[in-house]
């Protein structure tokens, strides 16, 4: 099953697409053309997250009940996602 959407990220960790009971492959795109966004678990910060540069795309596999989060140095930072649940 495919799901997609856009999430507005701010200066606190924001969940990307909720929790699912199945394995999934997720593709993220940093829609911002000036700033990076940082991705990781619920404790992600701009100091410890994986950097997703402006307009960069990233792919990751997620296990059941795993959730991906993002944070930015500004409010209103847009991220698009496409999730393929296996």
Whether 79 contacts 70, CB under 8 Å = yes
* Mean pLDDT score of the chain: 95
CATH code, 2-85:
2.60.120.770
pLDDT for res 20: 87
Q: Mean pLDDT, to the nearest integer, of 16-34?
A: 93
Name the pTM for this structure: 0.92
- Taking only the tens place, the pLDDT of each residue in 33-74 is 999 999 999 999 999 999 999 999 999 999 999 999 999 999
Q: How many whole angstroms separate alpha carbon 61 and alpha carbon 53?
A: 19
């Amino acid at each position: 099953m495919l799901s997609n959407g856009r999430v507005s990220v701010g200066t606190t960790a924001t969940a990307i697409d909720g929790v699912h009971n199945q394995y999934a492959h997720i593709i993220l795109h940093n829609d911002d053309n000036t700033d990076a966004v940082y991705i990781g678990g619920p404790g992600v910060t701009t100091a410890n997250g994986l950097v997703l540069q402006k307009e960069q795309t990233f792919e990751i596999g997620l296990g059941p009940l795993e959730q991906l989060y993002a944070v930015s140095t500004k409010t209103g930072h847009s991220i698009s996602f496409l999730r393929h649940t296996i």
